[in-house]
Chains A and B, each alone.
Chain A
Amino acid sequence: MTRVLVADDHPMIAAALDVLLRGTEYELVGRARSGADALAQVQRLRPDILLLDVNMPDGSGLDVLRQLRETRRAPATILLTAGMEDPQLVAANALEPDGIVLKTSDPAHLLECMQHVRKGERWVDPEVAERTRDAMDRAAAAPSLTPRERELIELVRQGLRNRDIASQLGVTEGTVKVYLHAIFDKVSVDNRTELAMRAKELLGG
């Protein structure tokens, strides 16, 4: 039997996975409800496969994956997600999980993925693979931002006004306006609200 640990804070998903894996060659050995809980249970239960949700409280799935990559006896990890934004996809891909499955795809994909991972092969949901490729292409074609521009976008994302940004960066309010307009042109947005909404994508997560 292959020992499986589920880390997902949604009871509906955890219960459904329990039912889905019942009577198969997989044994559900435990369930974690947060990132920190997942790390603790991995240490305690030593599962063969970790089914890991991306958006969880107290440490996201990507944080857990990052920490597991640094340990020697880490389980094979399958990211199970209901939907990731493009920057998250790129970041997840860089961490090289053993599998990525969308909760919104055909549930048969999960079992297929687990079969491959059990044999030591990598399996990524076709939709995720395609979106990751597109996101990476876009990131490569995207305008490069200077450290100062990235800093400014971060401050806009935090909802600071021009006056506050100016005092934080030690420049005049006029300079902040000039910088902002240059950024608007560079990343093709019309206003600071749009910039704040795209900040995550522009800054890469």
Chain B
Amino acid sequence: MKFSGPQSIFQYQSGRVIALGRVILSSLFLFSIWLDQSQPAQAAAQTYGLLLFYVLFALAVAALTWRNWWLDARLAAPAHVIDMAVFTAIVFSTNGYTSPFFLFFILPLLSATLRWGWRETMLTASALVLLYMTAGLLVAGSEAFELQRFIVRSGHLMILSAVLIWFGMHQQLGRLFLGLDEIDRRLGRDDPLVQALAVALEATRARSGALVLASTGGQEFAGIRTTGGRQRPVKVARPLTLEPIPVVLFDLPRDRTLSMRKDGWHRFAPASKLLETAELREIGADHGLVALVRSGTRSGWLVLWDVPELSGDFLELGTELGRAAGAVLDHDSLLSAMEEGAAARTRLSLARDVHDSVVQFLAGAAFRVEAIMRATKTSAEADSELRELKRLLIEEQAEIRAFVSALRHDRELELAEAVEELKSLASRLGRQWSVECHVRASNDDASIPIRMQLDLQQLMREAVANAVRHGGASRIDVGVGVDEDSLRLEVKDNGTGFLPANGASPVEPWSLKERVDRAHGSLSLFSEPGCTNLVITLPLAGAAA
């Protein structure tokens, strides 16, 4: 679908092709008649006059409609009638065996095929054959008339008509499949709105566009808007079209619209009658097209503006792009549902496995410790160790139960709740490593996905273990907070840091980094003797995946 150079002048520009064809054909015809001494066979002065008028008419139409889709659509039918009338007059005046009228037969037929559909082509062909027969019969008495040639030429006309009607029928189907293939090839797993809009912008070479969809259960429409390669969210308060029309070309400064009626004819209406012009202006679109987008679950509009070569062809192309955008949204919903289902099944299966193995094992271990404490006489020191071991086992079980619960119910929780858990973990880690460990929180009224709580706990365990083992820290301060769309964990300690005193190479916190990478987060480390500051940020949006 990507064109460049002179080809792009005619991409989706049937009107231009027809207008240019008319100019070349009429000039060529005038020139050939002037060279051919045998022509015109009848009414020479009138024929030259008619041809001269036709050349001027062709030039005027081409000049007026070259950059004006509205006028092109307006003049299409009258110009078509004039083309056919000129054809009849030429057949009448140039009935000799060298008459090049055949070319004039092709022009209206090709126009109908390119501009409209096979039905219009068939109508045009029938009218032209009928006009040819009538004009032929009118000049049948003249000397130059040859019956055999007349019959052979009639046959040619009918065969050519059949070929062009067939072409018209298959051209539309071909275009549609090309469009969908393109969408399918480009379909990624990024934001489906961005994908659908990008494909539409490229297909139409538009510089600006927006795709807005009805929000679930609300009256508002929300989506994205792209101008000059930059994207930003956009909201629309009211439906963009006042009637359910697949595609509307609009020119707000001139208060014009062009759309297709159900019977296939053009419909011209003031923009204010068909569109919510204030909303379109609010988006920034004053001259372009609006296409209806419908998927199985959502509906909305695709708006394209700053389109370099807008033409009547965009009525068909816009319909395809609207459908394709709907297909992208459907495809994405399907993939999301499948992913959610698979993720839920994995979570539940993991929860069951952990519950059935680790939890039971720890419970059994705690029972055994209790049995040893009760059955054997131990020293006070050993008894204290066993009590501590039992307590650690019970606390570990509580954490694993929270983990299992988080896996079973993928919900959000207040950061304050997670912080309470972290404080209790800090006091346990403090005892375990014989250090002072404190947690403070900022902006703790925010919500985080429950699974992020598990990440936080593991990160804190590893950070504290690193600080003590590698840095010999005796005091660790942990800060937790939510900044916009990410969670921030800061661990400060008073150890020697990640630079060992013996001059060995710095110790990389690789296990922490691995965990952070898996959560699509980032890690930064500032380390000097007496102070190490580790900052981890985790995106909130990707945590549920």
Contact = CB atoms under 8 A, between A and B. Distances in A.
- Asked whether A and B interact, the reply is yes
Interface in B384-425: 390, 394, 397-398, 401, 404, 408-410
Nearest to B376: A23
Nearest to A191: B340
B409 A107 contact: no
B324 interface: no
Contact of A106 (B356, B361, B394): B394
Interface in B344-377: 344, 355-356, 359-371, 374-375
Query: For the side of the interface on A, what is the size category?
Result: 20 to 34
B366 A83 contact: no
B390 A104 contact: no
A19 B409 contact: no
A12 B364 contact: yes
B371 A103 contact: no
B360 A82 contact: yes
Interface string A181-199: 0000000000001000100
Contacts of B367: 13, 16-17, 19-20, 107, 110
A193 B544 CA distance: 14
A55 B374 CA distance: 28
Contacts of B410: 197
Interface string A1-26: 00000000010110111011011100
A107 B404 contact: no
Interface in B330-353: 337, 340-341, 344
B329 to A, nearest CB: 16
B360 A103 contact: yes
Contacts of A16: 363-365, 367-368, 371
A107 to B, nearest CB: 4
Interface string A34-55: 0000000000000000000001
Nearest to A196: B344
A199 to B, nearest CB: 12
Interface string A106-126: 111011000000000000000
Nearest to A185: B217
A79 B34 CA distance: 111
Nearest to B375: A23
Contacts of A193: 337, 340-341, 344
A113 to B, nearest CB: 13
B363 A82 contact: yes
Contact of A83 (B368, B394, B401): B401
Contacts of A12: 360-361, 363-365
B337 to A, nearest CB: 8
A181 to B, nearest CB: 8
Contacts of B341: 193
B370 A20 contact: yes
Query: For the side of the interface on B, what is the size category?
Result: 20 to 34
Contacts of A106: 366, 370, 390, 394
Contacts of B362: 104
B361 to A, nearest CB: 5
B409 A197 contact: yes
A105 interface: yes
B368 A19 contact: yes
A105 B355 contact: no
A105 B359 CA distance: 12
Contacts of B366: 106-107
Which residue, B359, B364, B397, B409, has most C-beta atoms of chain A within 10 A? B364
B394 A22 contact: no
Contact of B363 (A22, A55, A85, A104): A104
A17 B360 CA distance: 12
A134 B337 CA distance: 33
Contacts of A23: 374-375
25 contacts: A12-B361, A12-B363, A12-B364, A13-B360, A16-B367, A19-B367, A19-B371, A20-B368, A20-B371, A24-B374, A55-B356, A82-B359, A82-B360, A83-B404, A104-B362, A104-B394, A106-B394, A107-B366, A107-B367, A107-B369, A107-B371, A107-B390, A110-B367, A193-B337, A193-B341
Interface of A: 10, 12-13, 15-17, 19-20, 22-24, 55, 82-83, 85, 103-108, 110-111, 193, 197
Interface of B: 337, 340-341, 344, 355-356, 359-371, 374-375, 390, 394, 397-398, 401, 404, 408-410
Given A19-B367, A104-B401, 5 more contacts: A23-B375, A83-B401, A103-B360, A103-B397, A106-B394
The 6 A-B residue pairs whose C-beta atoms are closest, nearest first, are A12-B364, A16-B367, A107-B370, A103-B363, A16-B364, A104-B397
